Amino acid sequence: MFRDSRGSIAVVEDRCCHRGLPLSLGRIVADTIVCGYHGISYNTAGRCVAIPGQRHVPPAMRVRSYPVVERDELIWVWMGASEEADTALVPSYPYHDDRARWPHRTHWQVLRCAHTLVIDNLLDLTHLAFVHKRTIGGDPDAHTNAEFSVEATPRGVRLMRWLLDSVPPPTYVNAVGFKGRVDRWMEFEFIAPGAVLQFTGALDVGQGAYEQGNREGGFALRIFHGITPETADTCHYFWSGCNGYRQSEAAVTDQLYTVLAATFAEDAAILEAQHVSVRSRPAPLFSTTHDRARVIAERKLQELLAAEAGTAHTVGG
């Protein structure tokens, strides 16, 4: 990935078409990427534009370039056949553009697990009571007894959970100083193939969070989860923690980031262990009531994979 002088992003194959060196080892010079081996340069469309010591540039010398859009602080690359790229399918995340209302910090890491396990994890929130006891977990009974609804969407699934009249978790209390019990909401939307949009928060009981849909005056946070498969055994996990309370205090956004990083480290340990176990013995597993959203997401992904496999000119992926 590289930017031209106007700041537009370009994504090209990471392999020089001369002797195959990864172009990511090169450098960017005046809107081109110059290979780090013999100095051949390519423009943002992947066309070779200069060969040191040779005047003629054969038009066939090029590397593949990929359709890309940059939106809401996210870069979306289409790895399939170029003519099938459809920017309308890019999930929108306007909160990233509203730094006054949603100041945020971002994170990226590689996880040693299949990307689907990360999606699964985000769609069965009963794990909070067990995996996140010390961070965002809170009342274990409230999690298992939570009221929840699941709704299939054209590109995935939406999951809504309410922990009514529950004890707030330590992180919520530290953030906004809850004195008593709260109504806590968790809203998750999976958008295939790899985005999960999260909106969670809590208000004091009686503030109308549940009854009137009030979301102001308590704790609130939004998280964008982007999960990109790398191999069958690894994936890239991108997330942003958008702070919806005490927005003018930069230290609060940093604190939120620290708590989320600790929370997702708890998930990472589980997911990597689960991956090893599932890979070593891929026997059937059982689903429970709380798997409903996960099952819909899995079906949606399988549907899309089947559709892609049926497309004659699908390239790579």
> What does the per-residue mask of binding to ligand FES show for 20-59, with x meaning CB under 6 A?
-x-------------x-xxxx-------------------
Q: What is the DSSP letter of 25?
A: G
Measured in whole angstroms, how far is the alpha carbon of residue 125 from the centre of its chain?
A: 17
Please report how close the Cβ of residue 57 comes to ligand FES at its closest, in angstroms: 12
Indicate which of Fe ion, ligand FES, none lies near residue 125 (CB less than 5 to 8 Å, by partner kind).
none
Residue 3 in contact with ligand FES, rule: CB under 6 A: no
Q: Which position among 1, 18, 238, 270 is part of the footprint of ligand FES (CB under 6 A)? A: 18
Measured from the CB atom, the residue of 61 and 252 that comes closer to ligand FES is 61
Q: How many CA atoms lie within 13 A of 295 on its CB side?
A: 9
Please state, as a whole number, how many other Cβ atoms lie within 10 Å of the Cβ of residue 311.
Answer: 11
| Contact (Cβ atoms closer than 8 angstroms) between residue 5 and residue 39 | no
Instruction: Provide the 3-class DSSP secondary structure of residue 139.
Output: coil
Binding residues for ligand FES restricted to 182-221, rule: CB under 6 A? none
Rounded to 5°, angle at Cα 200 from 199 and 203: 135
Tell me which of Fe ion, ligand FES, none is bound by residue 19, counting a contact when its beta carbon lies within the kind-specific cut-off of 5 to 8 angstroms: ligand FES
Q: Which amino acid is at 113?
A: C
99 binds, among ligand FES, Fe ion, none (CB under 5 to 8 A by kind): none
Among 10, 12, 16, 33, binds ligand FES (CB under 6 A): 16
Least distance CB 13 / ligand FES (angstroms): 12
In the range 267-286, which residues lie near Fe ion by CB under 5 A?
Answer: 267
In whole angstroms, what is the distance from residue 22 CA to residue 289 CA?
47
Positive or negative: CA dihedral 128, 131, 132, 138: positive
Which C-beta is closer to ligand FES: that of 35 or that of 202? 35
# residues contacting ligand FES (CB under 6 A): 9
Nearest-CA neighbor of 78 among 157, 224, 193?
193
Minimum Å gap between C-beta 217 and Fe ion is 26
The strands making up 9-12's β-sheet, listed across from edge to edge, are 2-3, 9-12, 65-66
Q: Which residues bind ligand FES (CB under 6 A)?
A: 16, 18-19, 21, 35, 37-40
Give the footprint of Fe ion on this chain (CB under 5 A): 267
